[in-house]
Amino acid sequence: DVVMTQSPLSLPVTLGQPASISCRSSQSLVLSDGNTYLNWFQQRPGQSPRRLIYRVSNRDSGVPDRFSGSGSGTDFTLKISRVEAEDVGVYYCMQGSHWPSTFGGGTTVEIK
Amino acid sequence: QVHLQESGPGLVKPSQTLSLTCTVSGGSISSGSYYWGWIRQPAGGGLEWVGRIHTSGSTNYNPSLKSRVTISVETSKNQFSLNLSSVTAADTAVYYCARDPVWGQGTLVTVSS
């Protein structure tokens, strides 16, 4: 299975400040068709995961533009330009390029 | 917008079969080209794909569970189902059904005698 490694495990952030989460895969997520199936999910306390970003950098409908995704190959990043209180929760990267799809271990974003 | 709702027993005895159903509303389960999947999350833990079924009927199961998992579609009821046999305490988790980008609210299944 492709192992997804996220860092940091915990990310205390001051309101209004930026945040960045790293996700690395144990093998390239680029497929022969050129697509890279790397998604980012947010899981607020007590809620189901919600997809924020698909195929590395595409924001889902309704996702604030302070969220952005970037990266390529095996190295990916989720950035929040200015953290708001509603952004508290656990963030997961997930690769869908190789079955079984696998998730990173999660990064907990909390307010300082 | 598609909406998904899981249902099934919240308590299953060890060695028995866990059976869950996901009811789809707001769209037809047989339309388009989608994967309808099951993901689970143990309490306080991470997320694990259990398996998925494509609109075409093809299935993919997580190899770690493959011999115990069956996913099927009931088109007439606009539902898809998960059967996980020979369960143990390690199968205790919240089970989510999902179809990109929509997830259900999840249902907790506890394996205990």
At A21-31, the pLDDT tens digits run 999 999 999 99
Best mutation target among A48, A53, A90, A98 (most B Cβ atoms within 10 Å) is A48
CA gap A42, A44 in Å, rounded: 6
- Residue among A50, A99, A102 whose CB faces B60 most closely: A99
User: Which residues, other chains included, contact B67 with Cβ-Cβ below 8 Å and sequence gap of 6+?
Assistant: none
Residues of A in contact with B63 (CB under 8 A): 1, 100
| pLDDT above 70 coverage of chain B, percent | 100
- Tens digit of pLDDT for each residue in A51-100? 999 999 999 999 999 999 999 999 999 999 999 999 999 999 999 999 99
- Residue among B46, B100, B104 whose CB faces A103 most closely: B46
Instruction: State yes or no: cis peptide before A12, omega within 30 of 0.
Output: no
Rg of chain B taking only CA atoms, in angstroms: 13
Q: Which residue has the tokens 């960045």?
A: A20
A59 by Cβ neighbours in 10 Å (0-12 / 13-18 / 19+) ranks as middle
Q: Residues B25-50: what's their mean pLDDT? A: 95
pLDDT at A92: 98
pLDDT at B33: 95
List the beta strands (DSSP E) in chain B: 3-7, 11-12, 18-25, 35-41, 48-54, 59-61, 69-74, 79-84, 93-99, 102-103, 107-111
Residues of B in contact with A50 (CB under 8 A): 101, 103
